[in-house]
Structure 1
Amino acid sequence: MLRLISTSLCLRCQPLTALPLNFRSCVNLSSSEENQQTVDALYRLSVDIQRVRKLKGWVLHQSPAYTEEVADVLKDMGASGPVIARILVVHPEAVLCDPEQVRTQRELWMTVCPNQKELVGIIEKFPASFFSSTSHHDNQRNNIAYFQSLILNKRIITKLMASAPQSFQRPVGQNQEMVLTLQQAYMELGGNEANMKIWLQKLLSQNPFVLLKPTEVLKQNLMFLRDKGFSTAQLLFLMSSLRGFVTELNPDSMRRTLLFSQTTMGCSEEELRTIILKCPALLYYPESTLDERFQSLCSAGISMSQITETPTVLELTTQIVNYRIQCLKARGYDVRTGSLQVLNGTKKDFEVSFGKLQLRRERPLFNPVAPLKVDD
């Protein structure tokens, strides 16, 4: 029996608000004129000044700034000139960070990513994650230690720091509460303790933002799905699905989606559960999106029984579905009578399936009366 606690909190997921970017303890002085030293330093580093002015011109009015010093730290890490220029044009706020704090930041990140070349690549891809948390070193250090105590892979921790830096900027107790809630729910749903670390790593890797969700959301979503007739084993399967979707939704949205899907497909509640287990992502989509996709499939001559047999086709946009149907039609494949499985998957998956159809049609037929070619 699940020991899930009800709550009176709002069921709708609230959008996350950005945390204040405190680049250092002192306050930058803003001027109506650009800081010429910053502009000159950025020119010397081959940074696209016009792009900076257009997107984040306010940075050029701040004083003091540490353009050359920050660039030197990146250079010491092995970053080339073009890489430094790309980092600063995307995240010029980096020049407002105290160089000493940037060096401390580098030391912290290297505890989970000791390869400086890899770290430079991460900074190039997620510069805001590296430079915007220089005033949260204590929280970062405590959170790194906590995730390391869970014996999580260093790459997973690095991905969390890069993708969801807010989770490392806040007190470690908040992350501990969510991880504990996830672990308890996993065990109560029949999960194997020996596999829990792998399950948690996969969940955090696929959805780093799960840590930022209120624990009550997870509890209420599981309670809602249980009340809809899903067994504990089925709930464990759904909870283990991609992106840990049970923390991204709320009972109200799922109720509307389930009702619309059941009405449109004309199925029973038991049949609907089977469809959801085949395609958990179905719970994500609002009625308007599902209505558009159902209508597009039906207008192509696809029956509702085909859709219920292969509901994952609803994960594809109408544009992708229409394009793939036309490609198959050109090869003589009729989706109205064949399996929809060939439509599914990524672009690469479809190309493989399409290639097999192409190969079957282009293979020369054996002519039993044609003369055989033999060597003289």
Structure 2
Amino acid sequence: MTLTQVAQHAGVSTSTASRYLRGQLNVQPETAARIDAAVAALDYRGATPGRVARSSRSVTPPQGSPARGTGVVALVVPDFTNPFFTTLAEECADLAASRQIPLVVAVSGKHGERNGGLSPLIGGTDVLGGLIYLGMSRTDERLARAVADGLPVVVIDEEIDLDLAVDTVTVDNYGGAYQATSYLIQQGHRRIAHVAGPSELSTTQERKRGYLDALADAGLTADPDLIRHGPYTEQFGASTFPYLTRPGSAPTAVFVGSDIVAVGMLGAAELHGIRIPEDLSVVGCDGIRIGQWLRPQLTTLEQPVAALALSAVDALERAMARREAQESAGTGGAATGFEPARTVLPLHLVIRGSVAPPSA
């Protein structure tokens, strides 16, 4: 007999049952009675003699520790090779520390392939107090199962295709891309390429849409041969030049959907006999710190990393408070009766040395 079956029999979440039986959660008397009855009826062996009786006592956290019920918060990121994810993780960790919330970081891999380490973490809802999820997969079923089991979750950066009642925090990728492309047009560029991320991601789709609309509104026609999709890596950026330097069709400017890809382009430009910005103007996206140390310095759409982290942590604390209220009331399970909030933050164009008017 499993703890999940006990929870189902009692009409509460697995997390509620587990934490109650371990003496880590106070619930309403009627909820406690239902869990105790389920343990007895199903002969659940996980509850040792006297454990249920002890679990009804109040548990007081040690001096200086997080409040009861907070638990450990996990931040899931795709990788640490992209400095944007590293910087965002640092901001979230600093905020969590200032609020005395223990935080761990899990790396899911770009396509969620690191299943062995991630699934036990997400599945361990009796251990986790909440989850901040930044993934490169729009259909992560592990996330759906965690939300259904009552784990407080906030999704940031990339939107997902699952119908989940969770708060989301994103940036205005469309507006930022429109602004960046319009800036290149204002500088006199007419053949503007777009080096984009993986085509299935929401960030990629919105940035591409902003790029195309900016061209169309300026009376320019997008050349499909000047749009390249690939992973957010330096290697992909360096590999784009053979496609962008064909005689008679070369662009004079490029909007790049990620700074780390733009770093690869700037590093490989000289190998292809291209001067930046004299031959090719480059605008990136993310605002990673290394961009200001490149030569020339990278013009970029700067992500509001501090605001992203603050909005995510605030939203997660609200979600955890909702779960605590539900568990105290004995309802358990996924949050109900609230409208998920969608926060959209602006991108800021930072003008540096990698853009110039096209040469004669």
Q: Please identify which structure carries the higher strand content.
A: 2
Do both share a fold (TM > 0.5)?
no
The two structures have a TM-score, normalised by structure 2, of 0.21
The two structures have a TM-score, normalised by structure 1, of 0.21
In our comparison, the structure showing a higher alpha carbon Rg is 1
